[in-house]
Structure 1
Amino acid sequence: MARRQGSAGLLGMLAEAQRQQHRREEEQRRAAAEQRRQYERAQREAQRAAARGEKEALRAYQQGREADLAARTAELDARVAELRGVLAAGLSGPAFRLSETSGRVEVPPFDPGPLGTPVPMPDQNRYLVPPLTGAQAYDPAARRWWDEQAAQARARFEHDWYAAQAAEQDRQRRLAEYRAGYEAWAAERRQLAAGQVGQAAQLAEQVRAGAAEAVVELFEAALRWRDDWPEGFPVECELAWDAGARQLVVEWELPPYEVVPAVARYRYVKTDDSEAEVARPATERKALYRAVLAQCALRVLDVLFRADETGLLDSVALNGVLTAVDPATGREQRRCLVSVAVERAELLAVALDRVEPVDCLVDGLRGRLSARPEKAEPVKVERSTASVGSVAPAPAAAPAGSPGTADGSDEPDLFTMDPIAFEELIAELFRRRGLVTRTTARSGDEGVDVLAEDPDPITGGRIVIQAKRYRKTVPPTAVRDLDATMSRQGANRGILVTTSGFGPGSRRWVDGKPLTLVDGPMLVALLQEHGLRGRLGSPVPPAERRAEPAVLSPGENAPLPAEEVAVAFRTTGAEADLTLLLLTADGVVRDDGDFVFYHQPTAADGAVRLRPLDGTANVRLGDLPDAVRRVAVSVNMDTDTGLTCADLGDAELEIQSGPAAWRFRPPADPAISAMLVAELYRHNGTWKLRAVGQGWSDGLAGLARTHGVDVA
């Protein structure tokens, strides 16, 4: 028994030792396996973290692209909203008041807008790669992988940081340029304000006296006064005043079709990291453009009638014009896309803040609006500025053997002429035009003053002529009565002649009918053409005539009657050089050869010649190339002397064109050393003169650089 017990005890001890050894080996194996699993988990976690960082960076980049395109789309939406609100913006602003705007021009404070916001710098924390943890921190492969990821992150950060730095520098540069432009603009506005002192009272007096040029100047100032038209909208116009009809005829430059964005929105395509433009539907774009044109017309009408403080206007005839390429010839030509004539009471009865612009213009005011303005399809012009004659034209030379004076004082006044003599004069006028005429008896004439027969066997026939010696606008009832009289007389044409004028209602009535309206200025021109005498009102005494040359104010313009223009600049103070620049429609020279100065005194094959020593120049407008749309006349000081335009003394620019001449005294501004004094410019096929007075503080270099001359 004892032996068996001892034997069993030894075996048990050996077995127990073996089991413990086995357990130790198993524990070591499990520990090694667990360590291997932890390492693999840590490695996978590091890989997931890196991938997660890349995905977040990619997602942030894509979100940035989407945000950028969304902002650009918002700009498009804002532009469309601005176009839809052209009329509302005009109605919300103050009316032009000559007495309130004289000598006081508001200069708003500098507003940098988006340029005032610095470019944000990238955050380095967003580029950090998560650190290695646990056993992976000691694993060489994991360390190499982490180093690669960290290097790539640093490279991305440095790239984005340098890009942001470049963007910030560009923003600061553009902000400085914008600020310099604002300072120049503000200085120009203040100069204009200084030059306007005392002019308002003088202009108002001339308007009250009925001076046609003063009336035109008043309403042109009203149209140019507001500077809140959308970008791309020209503020150019031509006006004529028909004193007899008390009608202002306006040609207003319309914006081109391109002001309506062709793109509706921008879309980001993630698959190939690109952006796509979604086009605006053609029907929407065309409808918006028509609405823009209608709003422009209504806004111009509103500005004019609101600016008429004294009730000078009975009506306004407005033509909206656009320079477009004729598809048949390939040449540019002026086309009328909007035409409307409106009487004062008619427009004031319309609540413009609650109308649909197109419906109001076409249906409410019976105007014409192009059906396809995007193709520049024209409409019939209501009345052009060229058709408006002078209120008191110069008298024609008296027939041989008849007495006369230089000022035309012997011309009979049509306003005070005996009624029978007036009818005889009208009969004689049409007799000289080839008709067989006779006046009717004073009683029983049935509304006919002169009966005429056109002897032409094909186009001839009977014509009834009604003569009205009026000082006020002929009412539309007189035109309708003539229409009825023509029918009663069996005539195939009717003519109404007056010493005054006609309103829009009368002109609309005769549209498409065999009726002709002859207003006062046209009547005087016809009389002169056929050797007859007559004037509208008393002649102006010589002592009251405006002396030549005429004095121009800043911004004032005048037509040039001749193609030969002489320019002379004189000063009793410091010396200054006269220079001229030949500019395109974009306001820049075609090349350096268009810069005429001391060392280059000719341009355009001699069409422009400068005599530097005596400060004079000659311009042959007819010989200038078609690409030259403006000739800028400027003076500049020698910047090395430190002198400015304030040192010029009694400076004066004189421009002569044929028998007409003008003087302009540029402002004596101590902040500038070069000044654009005046410009000759093309307008509707004719050349005109405008006084300017805009300056540059850096002298000739700034003047040249602004107009595209290489001064490097």
Structure 2
Amino acid sequence: MAQRGGGRGNEYQRQQQALRRAQEQQARQVERSRKEAEAASKRRERERKAAYQEQQAEQAQVRTIGVEHEVEQLGQLLRDALVGDPPTTFERRRRTYTPTVLDERLWSRPEPSPRWEGFAPPEPGGLSAVLGLGRKRYEAEVAEARVRFDEAQERHRRTEEKRLEAQERKRAEHRQGEEQALAEVTAFNRQLDEEREAYRAGEPAAVEAHLSAVLSASAYPLGFPHEHRVAFRPATGDVLVEIHLPPEGIVPAAKGYRYVKSRDETNVLPRPEKERKEIYASVLAQVALRTVYEILTSDPDKIINGVILNGHVKTVDRATGQEVSPCLVTLSTSREQFGKLRLSQVDPAACLKGLNALVSPNPYDLEPIRPIIEFDLTKYRLMDSMDVVAGLDSRPVLVQLTPTEFEHLIRQLFEAIGMEAWNTQASKDEGVDAVAVSKDPVFNGECIIQAKRYSKLVGVESVQALAGVVEHKRAAKGILITTSWFGRASHDFARQHGRLQLIEGPELKYLIKEHLGKDVIPGPVPPKRRPSR
């Protein structure tokens, strides 16, 4: 008995030991699974982190490539104009009419007509038909079916009428639309032909409209302004153009981007200030040269003899916070002079210097320069048209003033502009009608004014005489104002002298309107200049 009890005790111990081993094995398995799961989680986290870092590095590289592309675009503004599509021409502005076909599928298919077979009731059959049973009921059903059939036919007829009406209406609308489209294209092309002839004749409005279309069609990178104003002087063949240049912010401040893994951040690599200034100066030079190039190459009739360009930039003064529009580039060039340039080979900044252009010494800092044409001569053509208002007797005609009245009017004009001015004595003026002193510390000098109340061409000898007085008096500048106009020789002489400014009737009209609030008629309209061939 004792042995049997001992055997049972040993068996129990073996079972307990087996149970403990199973539990330990299970615990080891759970621990192993936990460690494997933890290792897998860490591995996935490392892979996720590596993928994230790789993505951030790629994004930094993509942003760097984008900045490099922007700078590359800024460096080839002039080249793009030379190798791209030609400037807008009258032929490219023409429109073409292409007829369209009306899709009649919605109205071309009539609905099927009602068929009696679909309404007729079945005739009696079998014994009923032989004995004549149900005949009255059948006839009543036929009568009802006939009514429904007639109603269906009437509905079909009305539906067909509506379909045919809609079809004819759509055809009429289509014909009308096609006729209108053809008429619009024909009218546009007819007007374009008239503009073309007016352009060949050198009419200012036609020349200005065409050149505005040319400059508007010029494709620049995103962020470049497209504002401009154009005025054409038929007496000399010169085009006055004012363009808005891109602000200094057009040059990317970042040179590139770099992702730093240790700090999990993307750092901006700043572009050196010297490099930014050099790129911006190059952009301004390229835009100026490109504008002149597009104007002259879009003029196959050679109506334009020269281009005077002022480039302004709309921005905010960092010192005052006020909106300003300083002039950063101004140049004057003839067709012959500009035609000798090989623009594909030039350095833009050096090319401007060779054209004797005036460029801001610090364009990036918005340091302004004085434009070649000091007064804004483009507005007058936008405000009034001399050809339209010349016959209005209610407005004063300047050539009808006395010489003394005209000289005092000019003196008052310069006072309104912001200068101190005096009229000289008639017997001692030595060809000087008024003297003005600028309040601008940059100008800081006397300005000799001579007024010509003429109704015909002012000869070049008058301009040469004013130049002699300017030199004799050691004046800072000489201004010759007339109610009529100057010839090309006078404009060439004044441009070469450098300290003379000529103001013709249209410009005088604008200045008086702008500063004195008087709407005047200067004098006769200048004769149209024959275009050079």
TM interval, short-chain normalised? 0.5 to 0.7
The answer to whether the 8 A contact 2:238-2:305 is kept is yes
Provide the residue aligned with 2:386 in structure 1: 393
Provide the residue aligned with 1:302 in structure 2: 293
Task: Give, in whole Å, the separation in 2 of the partners of 1:468 and 1:264.
Answer: 60
Shift of 1:84: 0.7
- When residues 56 and 201 of structure 1 are mapped into structure 2, their CA distance, relative to the original with a 3 A threshold, is same
Task: Give, in whole Å, the separation in 2 of the partners of 1:530 and 1:97.
Answer: 36
Of 349, 356, 365, the residue aligned with 2:340 is: 349
Are residues 1:74 and 2:65 paired? yes
Provide the residue aligned with 2:313 in structure 1: 322
- When residues 102 and 533 of structure 1 are mapped into structure 2, their CA distance, relative to the original with a 3 A threshold, is closer
Task: Give, in whole Å, the separation in 2 of the partners of 1:383 and 1:207.
Answer: 24
The answer to whether the 8 A contact 2:326-2:366 is kept is yes
- When residues 480 and 537 of structure 1 are mapped into structure 2, their CA distance, relative to the original with a 3 A threshold, is closer
Provide the residue aligned with 1:259 in structure 2: 250
Task: Give, in whole Å, the separation in 2 of the partners of 1:457 and 1:480.
Answer: 20
Task: Give, in whole Å, the separation in 1 of the partners of 2:63 and 2:88.
Answer: 35
Provide the residue aligned with 2:467 in structure 1: 483
Shift of 1:358: 1.5
Provide the residue aligned with 2:124 in structure 1: none
- When residues 210 and 273 of structure 1 are mapped into structure 2, their CA distance, relative to the original with a 3 A threshold, is same
Shift of 1:333: 2.7
> What do the CA deviations read for 1:155-188 (whole angstroms, capped 9, x no partner)?
xxxxxxxxxxxxxxxxxxxxxxxxxxxxxxxxxx
Task: Give, in whole Å, the separation in 1 of the partners of 2:436 and 2:228.
Answer: 45
Task: Give, in whole Å, the separation in 2 of the partners of 1:276 and 1:194.
Answer: 59
- When residues 464 and 211 of structure 1 are mapped into structure 2, their CA distance, relative to the original with a 3 A threshold, is closer
Task: Give, in whole Å, the separation in 2 of the partners of 1:281 and 1:394.
Answer: 55
The answer to whether the 8 A contact 1:269-1:276 is kept is yes
* Counterpart residue type for residue 366 of structure 2: A
Task: Give, in whole Å, the separation in 1 of the partners of 2:446 and 2:45.
Answer: 91
* Counterpart residue type for residue 386 of structure 2: P
Are residues 1:241 and 2:232 paired? yes
Shift of 1:482: 5.3
Task: Give, in whole Å, the separation in 2 of the partners of 1:385 and 1:308.
Answer: 26
| SS of residue in 1 equivalent to 2:326 | strand
Of 534, 539, 547, the residue aligned with 2:523 is: 534
Summarize the alignment of residues 468-617 of structure 1 with structure 2, pairs less than 5 Å apart.
Answer: 483-484=467-468, 487=471, 496=480, 499-500=485-486, 506-511=493-498, 513=499, 515-522=500-507, 534-537=523-526
| SS of residue in 1 equivalent to 2:70 | helix
Provide the residue aligned with 1:373 in structure 2: 363
Provide the residue aligned with 1:452 in structure 2: 431
Shift of 1:239: 1.6
Q: RMSD over aligned Cα, in angstroms?
A: 5.1
- When residues 457 and 298 of structure 1 are mapped into structure 2, their CA distance, relative to the original with a 3 A threshold, is closer
> What do the CA deviations read for 1:83-135 (whole angstroms, capped 9, x no partner)?
11111111212122112321169xxxxxxxxxxxxxxxxxxxxxxxxxxxxxx
Summarize the alignment of residues 61-460 of structure 1 with structure 2, pairs less than 5 Å apart.
Answer: 61-93=52-84, 94-103=86-95, 196-226=188-218, 228-327=219-318, 329-361=320-352, 363-383=353-373, 386-388=376-378, 393=386, 430=407, 434-437=423-426, 451-452=430-431
- When residues 213 and 385 of structure 1 are mapped into structure 2, their CA distance, relative to the original with a 3 A threshold, is farther
Shift of 1:329: 4.4
Shift of 1:79: 0.7
Shift of 1:229: 0.7
The answer to whether the 8 A contact 1:413-1:534 is kept is yes
Q: For structure 1, which runs of at least 5 residues remain unmatched after alignment?
A: 1-42, 106-191, 398-404, 415-423, 440-449, 540-712
> What do the CA deviations read for 1:597-621 (whole angstroms, capped 9, x no partner)?
xxxxxxxxxxxxxxxxxxxxxxxxx
Task: Give, in whole Å, the separation in 1 of the partners of 2:78 and 2:525.
Answer: 39
> What do the CA deviations read for 1:501-525 (whole angstroms, capped 9, x no partner)?
56875454444x4x44333534678
The answer to whether the 8 A contact 2:448-2:470 is kept is no
Provide the residue aligned with 2:110 in structure 1: none
* Counterpart residue type for residue 393 of structure 1: M
* Counterpart residue type for residue 534 of structure 1: G
Task: Give, in whole Å, the separation in 2 of the partners of 1:67 and 1:81.
Answer: 21
> What do the CA deviations read for 1:22-63 (whole angstroms, capped 9, x no partner)?
xxxxxxxxxxxxxxxxxxxxx999999987776555444433
The answer to whether the 8 A contact 2:447-2:479 is kept is no
Structure possessing the higher radius of gyration over alpha carbons: 2
- When residues 58 and 279 of structure 1 are mapped into structure 2, their CA distance, relative to the original with a 3 A threshold, is same
The answer to whether the 8 A contact 1:248-1:317 is kept is yes
* Counterpart residue type for residue 194 of structure 2: Q
The answer to whether the 8 A contact 1:412-1:535 is kept is no
- When residues 384 and 238 of structure 1 are mapped into structure 2, their CA distance, relative to the original with a 3 A threshold, is farther
Task: Give, in whole Å, the separation in 1 of the partners of 2:449 and 2:37.
Answer: 103
The 10-residue stretch of structure 1 (280-289 or 374-383) with the greater mean CA deviation from structure 2: 374-383
Summarize the alignment of residues 674-689 of structure 1 with structure 2, pairs less than 5 Å apart.
Answer: none
The answer to whether the 8 A contact 1:480-1:509 is kept is no
Q: For structure 2, which runs of at least 5 residues remain unmatched after alignment?
A: 1-33, 98-183, 411-422, 438-444, 529-533
**Counting helix residues as a fraction of each chain, which structure ranks higher?**
2
The answer to whether the 8 A contact 1:87-1:299 is kept is yes
The answer to whether the 8 A contact 2:228-2:242 is kept is yes
Task: Give, in whole Å, the separation in 1 of the partners of 2:211 and 2:447.
Answer: 44
| SS of residue in 2 equivalent to 1:271 | coil
- When residues 365 and 104 of structure 1 are mapped into structure 2, their CA distance, relative to the original with a 3 A threshold, is farther
Task: Give, in whole Å, the separation in 2 of the partners of 1:432 and 1:104.
Answer: 53
The answer to whether the 8 A contact 2:506-2:522 is kept is no
The 10-residue stretch of structure 1 (529-538 or 339-348) with the greater mean CA deviation from structure 2: 529-538
Name which structure has the greater RCO, CA cutoff 8 Å, separation 6+.
2
